C-alpha cells in the first residue's frame, strides 16, 4: 500500500460511506518520526473518537492503522515520560506517569470491550503500547512485515497494557517466556499466540479497506461476521509465510520455563547454548535486562492469574506508576533511547522493591470506574 500522505495531527480520523447509510470509521496514527509512539495527546484523541463511534449507530466497524508500512505503533512515548518523571523525582505518585498510564489503559480496556468490530492492521513494528491497542481488538491482522514484542525488560518496566492478561492466555508457558525475554515475534507467531487472527500481505491494506466499503453491512448477520468474510478473502496461505518462532521452539520454551522458582527459570533461559539465533537473542536480552522488570513480570503472572480484565488494568496501573519511580526506568530509557550506549546500570531487585511496587497508591483508584465484563 502506498504510504499515506502525512498530516499535521498525530492521529487522523475519517469516515467512509457504506451501504444503507452505514459508515466505516478509520483512525490513522500519524507520527512517523517516532514510529507512531503513543503520546498522551494521541491517546486522548483516540479515546474520544472511540467513545463517539461507540454511541453512533451508523458506525458499522472501526479500523485502527498507521500512516506508514514500517510500523503500526512502537509503543508509548517513554522518553517524554522519563523527562517528566526526572523533573519531579520526589512526586509520589508522579502525576505525569499516573495521567499517561491511566489514559492508556482506559483506551486499551475500551478496545477490549468495544461494542462493535474493531480491526487493527498490525503491519510493521508493534511493540509495547502498540500491542495494547492491537491485543484487545476483535479482528487483528498481521503481515509479512509484522514484528511484535513486549521489550520492557530492556527499559526497566514490565509487560503492561494488559500483558498480564493476554500473555497468560497464550499456549503453554510461551507468554511467560515472551514477557521475560522481550523476544520478537513475526506474523505467524502472532496467530499462533493469539495476538492476530489473519495473515494478509501488507500490500493488500488499501484493497481490504476498499472491500470493507463494498461489503453488504445491511445483512441480518452481525457486523463481525461481515468483517470476517472480507478478511478471509485476502488471507494468505500459512505455508507462504516464515515459520512461527514460538511454535518452532515451543518444546524448548516449555522445558526452560517448567514450574520452578523465578531465578531457576531465568537461569535456564540465560544458559541456553543451542543453535537457534532466536533463542540466543532472547537469552541475551533477558541476561542484560532489568532485574526488577523480571521480578515484576513473574509476580504479575502469579497475582493476575484469577483477576478479571478490569482488575488486571487496575493492578498494572499501580505497578506501572510505582515502577516509574524506581531508578531502573529512567536508566533503561537513557541507555536504550537517549544516550543509546546500551549499557544500563541496573539496581538489584530485592523482595522489598518488588513488594513496594504492589503497595496500593490510591484510596480512590483512577480506574475504579472500569466495569467488570
Rounded distance, CA 204 to CA 223, Å?
A: 21
Domain locations along the chain? 11-358
Provide the pLDDT for residue 238. Answer: 67
Short-list 153, 149, 174, CA closest to 257: 174
Q: What pLDDT tens digit does each residue of the chain (373 aa) get? A: 444 555 679 999 999 999 878 999 999 999 999 999 999 999 999 999 999 999 999 999 999 999 999 999 999 999 999 999 999 988 889 999 999 999 999 999 999 999 999 999 999 999 999 999 999 999 999 999 999 999 999 999 999 999 999 999 999 999 999 999 999 999 999 999 999 999 999 999 999 999 999 998 877 789 999 999 999 999 987 677 889 999 999 999 999 999 889 999 999 999 999 999 999 999 999 999 999 999 999 999 999 999 999 999 999 999 999 999 999 999 999 999 999 999 999 999 999 999 999 999 999 999 999 998 6
Three state DSSP letters for 155-168: CCCCCCCCHHHHHH
pLDDT at 242: 85
Q: How high is the pLDDT of residue 240?
A: 74
Question: Residue holding cell 453491512?
Answer: 217
Q: What is this structure's pTM?
A: 0.96
User: What is the model's pLDDT at position 311?
Assistant: 98
Residue pair 13/25 in contact (Cβ under 8 Å)? The answer is yes
Q: ∠ CA(70), CA(168), CA(329), 5° rounding?
A: 60
Nearest CA to 148 out of 168, 162, 134 is that of: 134
- CA dist list (Å): 110 to 51, 102, 186, 367: 8, 12, 26, 12
**Site of grid cell 488471507:** 235
Distance CA 163, CA 251 (A): 22
pLDDT at site 352? 94
Please report the pLDDT score of residue 19 as a whole number. 82
Answer yes or no: are the C-beta atoms of 336 and 342 closer than 8 Å: yes
Class of domain 11-358: alpha beta
Closest C-alpha among 187, 237, 239, 229 to residue 208: 229
If DSSP codes are grouped into helix, strand and coil, which group holds residue 170? coil
Cell of 230: 472480507
Amino acid at each position: 500500500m502506498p504510504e499515506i500522505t502525512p498530516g499535521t495531527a498525530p492521529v487522523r480520523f475519517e469516515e467512509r460511506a457504506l451501504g444503507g447509510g452505514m459508515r466505516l470509521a478509520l483512525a490513522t496514527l500519524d507520527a512517523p518520526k517516532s514510529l507512531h509512539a503513543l503520546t498522551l495527546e494521541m491517546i486522548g484523541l483516540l479515546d474520544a473518537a472511540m467513545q463517539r463511534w461507540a454511541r453512533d449507530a451508523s458506525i458499522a466497524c472501526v479500523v485502527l492503522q498507521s500512516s506508514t508500512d514500517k510500523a503500526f505503533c512502537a509503543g508509548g512515548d517513554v522518553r517524554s515520560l522519563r523527562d517528566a518523571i526526572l523533573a519531579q523525582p520526589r512526586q509520589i505518585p508522579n502525576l505525569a506517569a499516573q495521567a499517561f498510564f491511566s489514559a492508556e489503559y482506559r483506551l486499551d480496556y475500551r478496545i477490549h470491550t468495544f461494542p462493535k468490530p474493531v480491526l487493527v492492521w498490525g503491519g510493521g513494528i508493534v511493540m509495547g503500547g502498540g500491542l495494547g491497542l492491537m491485543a484487545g481488538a476483535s479482528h487483528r491482522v498481521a503481515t509479512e512485515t509484522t514484528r511484535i514484542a513486549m521489550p520492557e525488560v530492556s527499559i526497566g518496566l514490565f509487560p503492561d497494557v494488559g500483558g498480564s492478561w493476554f500473555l497468560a492466555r497464550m499456549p503453554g508457558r510461551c507468554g511467560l517466556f515472551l514477557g521475560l525475554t522481550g523476544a520478537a515475534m513475526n506474523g505467524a507467531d502472532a496467530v499462533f499466540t493469539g495476538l492476530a487472527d489473519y495473515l494478509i500481505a501488507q500490500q493488500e491494506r488499501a484493497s481490504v479497506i476498499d472491500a470493507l466499503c463494498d461489503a453488504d453491512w445491511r445483512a441480518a448477520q452481525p457486523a463481525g461476521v461481515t468483517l470476517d468474510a472480507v478478511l478471509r478473502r485476502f488471507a494468505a496461505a500459512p505455508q507462504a509465510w516464515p515459520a512461527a518462532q514460538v511454535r518452532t521452539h515451543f518444546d524448548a520454551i516449555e522445558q526452560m520455563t517448567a514450574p520452578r522458582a523465578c531465578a531457576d527459570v531465568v537461569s535456564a533461559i540465560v544458559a541456553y547454548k543451542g543453535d537457534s539465533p532466536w533463542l540466543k537473542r532472547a537469552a541475551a536480552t533477558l541476561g542484560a535486562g532489568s532485574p526488577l522488570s523480571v521480578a515484576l513480570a513473574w509476580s504479575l503472572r502469579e497475582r493476575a492469574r484469577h483477576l478479571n480484565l478490569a482488575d488486571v488494568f487496575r493492578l498494572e496501573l499501580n505497578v506501572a506508576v510505582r515502577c516509574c519511580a524506581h531508578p531502573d526506568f529512567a536508566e533503561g530509557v537513557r541507555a536504550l533511547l537517549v544516550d543509546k550506549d546500551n549499557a544500563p546500570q541496573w539496581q538489584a531487585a530485592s523482595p522489598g522493591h518488588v513488594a513496594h511496587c504492589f503497595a496500593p497508591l490510591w484510596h480512590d483508584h483512577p480506574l475504579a470506574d472500569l466495569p467488570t465484563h
